[in-house]
Amino acid sequence: MTELKINFERLWQELEELARIGQDPRGGISRPSFSLADLEARKWLKEKIEAAGLTYRQDSAGNIFGRLAGKTPQVVMAGSHLDTVVNGGRFDGSVGVLSALECLRRIKEENLELYRTLELASFTDEEGNLVGDFLGSRAFTGQLKEEQLKNARTQFGPPLAEIVEKAGLKVENIPLAARERPEILAFLELHIEQGPILEEEEIPIGLVTTIAGKRYFQATFVGRSGHAGTIPMELRQDAFISLADFALRANQLVLRKYEDNTLTIGRVVLKPGSFSIIPGEADFTLDLRSQNRQELEELEKEILKLAREVAATRGLSFYQQLVDSTEPIVVPGSILNRLKALSERLGYDYRLISSGAGHDSQILAAICPVGLIFIPSPEGLSHVPDEKINPSDLEKGANLLLQALLELASV
């Protein structure tokens, strides 16, 4: 028996269509959730879902679903997100949603009888352009913190309430998405790797074993500003020097003691920020990631302790505020072994890989077994206009997703 395959030309064509929505004159695609471009993409997806003969549904968090009913209402779900970072690429997220659409559409075209129900999902604001990552999947799984919504202002200025209203949603109803959720048996996500490993090893499929958790802090060293010419070096409480000292020591600590974990200081703002004034304040972001829950907790404790020690030694103060956190997850063997066996059956070369980036599947892991399939990101490019994929890798990834969905939807 020849195995059911996706219609690759159709999938590629739809990726191109979607990439035209939200083209940014400054480069790439800007499609943050509930922007005009995102609203257009949502309308486009709704039309595709309905044209495919699937049942369209949107929940209170603006998550979009397409349903192909089986004999039982229990759902096997696949999807990702259609929103992008500002000046992002055309494949991050889109690949997962449109592959899931293609899989369900092919199954529908063949009139295959399903025991379980299949749904595709497109989750709201995975990229966290509004008020923190994973707004949609967090709402869907009942993991949304009240303070993320109430009076939340978005990075674009207007309050979240005002932004979601444009999509016909109410901010106070967003957490209701969890109550509207059907029973979910498994969730699968196809995504670009966003790193260089698969391309370097010329392997088309990455089967993710663990997804890193993170702690994201906004932190500050507070010292004293003063004249750059009149205050002797040894009498200074220079916030930048403390930050520099901390950054170096923290990096060494991670390399020495927390192999495979990461620490990144991505943004630094010095105040008052003038070339002739000693900086009295150094505000910075601190991003800690680990594939292991216990290590992440220890890393967090030790890094914050180090920051306080550096501050105390130099006569400054240190403050930090936790902005966002996710827990690391381990992909269950039941899903991983199935994906391995299917890759072998399809003749696709694969390797096991861990994900340093967060994904909707990580959030879904709180309510059901999840699987995450990577395809290579040439040159490791992601979240940039030049983001790319090899069509043949996508074809393999989508066919693997199709077979996995068929198996999971069978008795």
Q: Which residues bind Zn ion (CB under 5 A)?
A: 92-93
Compare residues 80 and 343 and give the one whose CB is closer to Zn ion. 80
Q: How far is the CB of 191 from Zn ion (least distance, A)?
A: 6
| In contact, 248 and 327? CB cutoff 8 Å | no
Strand partners for 372: 189
Q: How far is the CB of 133 from Zn ion (least distance, A)?
A: 10
| In contact, 76 and 104? CB cutoff 8 Å | no
Compare residues 92 and 193 and give the one whose CB is closer to Zn ion. 92
Q: How far is the CB of 255 from Zn ion (least distance, A)?
A: 28
Compare residues 66 and 93 and give the one whose CB is closer to Zn ion. 93
Compare residues 80 and 117 and give the one whose CB is closer to Zn ion. 80
Look up residue 345 and give its two tokens.
């059956």
Q: How far is the CB of 192 from Zn ion (least distance, A)?
A: 8
Report the C-alpha gap between 370 and 353 in whole angstroms: 15
Q: How far is the CB of 92 from Zn ion (least distance, A)?
A: 4
| In contact, 104 and 51? CB cutoff 8 Å | no
Compare residues 93 and 206 and give the one whose CB is closer to Zn ion. 93
Report the C-alpha gap between 148 and 357 in whole angstroms: 21
Q: How far is the CB of 128 from Zn ion (least distance, A)?
A: 11
Report the C-alpha gap between 79 and 65 in whole angstroms: 9
Compare residues 206 and 279 and give the one whose CB is closer to Zn ion. 206
Look up residue 333 and give its two tokens.
């063997």
Q: Taking Cα atoms as reference points, which of 53, 40, 34 lies closest to residue 110?
A: 53
> What letter does residue 253 receive in the DSSP assignment?
H
* Cα separations in angstroms, 22 against 16, 19, 383, 387: 12, 7, 14, 15
Residue 12 φ then ψ, to 5°: -65, -40
